[in-house]
Amino acid sequence: MADHETASDLTAVLEDTVFRGGPTHVGPLEHVFLVERYARLYFPDTYHGELFDRDELTAIVTDSPIRNTRSPVRRVGTRPLLNREYRPVH
């Protein structure tokens, strides 16, 4: 990417923080766990703890009411998913 005319201008390329996100066949559930793992690994000062609410994810997957939301959430579409407190801090 560093040799590509456009990609070489990306901040992640300039700061050498580009990494493969996982296999190309990863589904949406695996994806949220991988994003959380990599965010905590590469940006520990910004991201820690859970980046998404497990109870809310369970409710979405099982199409059931939320029983125990542990923290405030931000709405994505019509359903909440991501914890507000874990937005990047600048």
In a domain, 22, yes or no: no
Residue-by-residue pLDDT tens, the chain, 90 positions:
899 999 999 998 999 888 776 666 778 888 888 888 888 888 888 887 888 888 888 888 888 776 655 544 444 444 445 554 444 444
In a domain, 32, yes or no: yes
In a domain, 82, yes or no: yes
Task: Identify which of 74, 86, 85 has the alpha carbon closest to the alpha carbon of residue 40.
Answer: 86
Number of domains in the chain: 1
List the domain range (segments joined by +) for residue 45: 27-86
Answering whether pTM is above 0.75, one says no
In a domain, 81, yes or no: yes
Which 3 state secondary structure label does DSSP give 54?
A: helix
In a domain, 36, yes or no: yes
67 secondary structure, DSSP code = -
CA distance 90 to 26: 30
